[in-house]
Amino acid sequence: MKLLLFLIFSLTIASVSTSAAQDKYYVWTYPYGTTARGEFELESNSFFTTPTLSNNSHSFIQQFELEYGVSDRFQIGLYQVFGRDFPEGRLSSESFMLEALYKLAQENELPVDPMLYVEYERNWNFKNANRAEVKLILSKDIGRLNGTINGIAEYEFGKGSELTPEFSAGFSYELLDGFRVGVESFATLAGEEAVDEDFGGTGAGPTVSLATPWFDITSGATFGILKNSNAVNFCTTLSFDL
């Protein structure tokens, strides 16, 4: 019901706005960029992970996001997320998330373009399952080539509080106008047993993206490197111009 209400609310607001989707080159890594001032964007993210290299656990996560450009440098976002574990097929999580993105400098003002990302997640299934995440995003365009690094600190609080350092990075090249191919990697740096809900351990693989006047779509797959990593992670991100 919460998911349905969120979608109705999102589409109602978006129907009276005229936003343009941001270019998104990666699925796990955030590049430099925010939604334009006063505009909305609706985004869908679908994640599927195959069994890890050490057990048979795999899952599907669906995420919907409504973004709003508060200013030319500041963006806020509202998420609804649910996940399902397999082979049992049970609903493993349903959560509500808030995000804020801020450009620390204007584009090309510094040698790299920096942004700060802050996210809060409240899991409705577990009273003590709260999570906060901070990302420092460093990105640079050199002609048609983009390189981006995210340094991440994730903190779970409540019962069993834990701070987890993480990292993601990607390179993307624009072969044709709006069409990009690249490679992306990520790592959870909290030891062998740590498996992040988003990243699934440590992995790397290809990404491909297409930007059109009406929507942007990006797909990626990463392959596990360490024992605790999911064997394969798939993700597709679809952003609508509303």
Q: What string of DSSP letters covers 127-148?
A: TT-EEEEEEEEEEEEETTEEEE
Query: Is the CB of residue 18 less than 8 Å from the CB of residue 42?
Result: no
Average pLDDT over residues 2-6: 46
Q: Residue 92, SS3?
A: strand
Q: What count of other Cβ atoms lies within 10 Å of the Cβ of residue 162? A: 11
Among 12-16, 160-164, 212-216, 223-227, the range with the most confident prediction by mean pLDDT is: 212-216
Q: Does the pLDDT value for residue 3 go beyond 70?
A: no
pLDDT score at 162: 78
- Give the residue-averaged pLDDT of 125-140: 85
- What was the pLDDT predicted at 190? 61
Q: Quote the mean pLDDT of the chain.
A: 82
pLDDT higher than threshold 80 for residue 6: no
CA–CA separation, 110 vs 189, rounded Å?
28
Q: Locate all alpha helices (DSSP H) within 72-215, ordered by sequence.
A: none
> 55: Cβ–Cβ under 8 A, 6 or more apart, which residues?
none
Determine the Cα–Cα distance for residues 31 and 48; give it in Å rounded to an integer.
Answer: 22
Most confident of 75-84, 118-127, 166-175: 166-175
pLDDT confidence tier of residue 8, bands split at 50, 70 and 90? very low
- CATH for 2-240 is 2.40.160.40
For the cut 60, the answer to whether the pLDDT of residue 209 exceeds it is yes
Average of per-residue pLDDT across 185-191: 78
- Spatial separation of the C-alpha atoms in residues 2 and 27, rounded to whole Å: 25
Percent helix, strand, coil in the chain (nearest 5)?
5, 60, 35
Question: Does residue 11 have a pLDDT over 50?
Answer: no
Domain boundaries, the chain: 2-240
Residue 9: band (very low, low, confident or very high) from pLDDT cuts 50, 70, 90? very low
The reported pTM is: 0.83
Structure tokens that stand for 59 in this block: 């899952």
- The three state secondary structure string of 23-77 is CCCCCCCCCCCCCCECCEEEEEEEEEECCECCCCCEEEEEEEEEEEECCCCEEEE
pLDDT at 155 over 80: yes
Report pLDDT digits (tens) over 19-50: 444 668 898 999 999 988 999 999 999 988 88
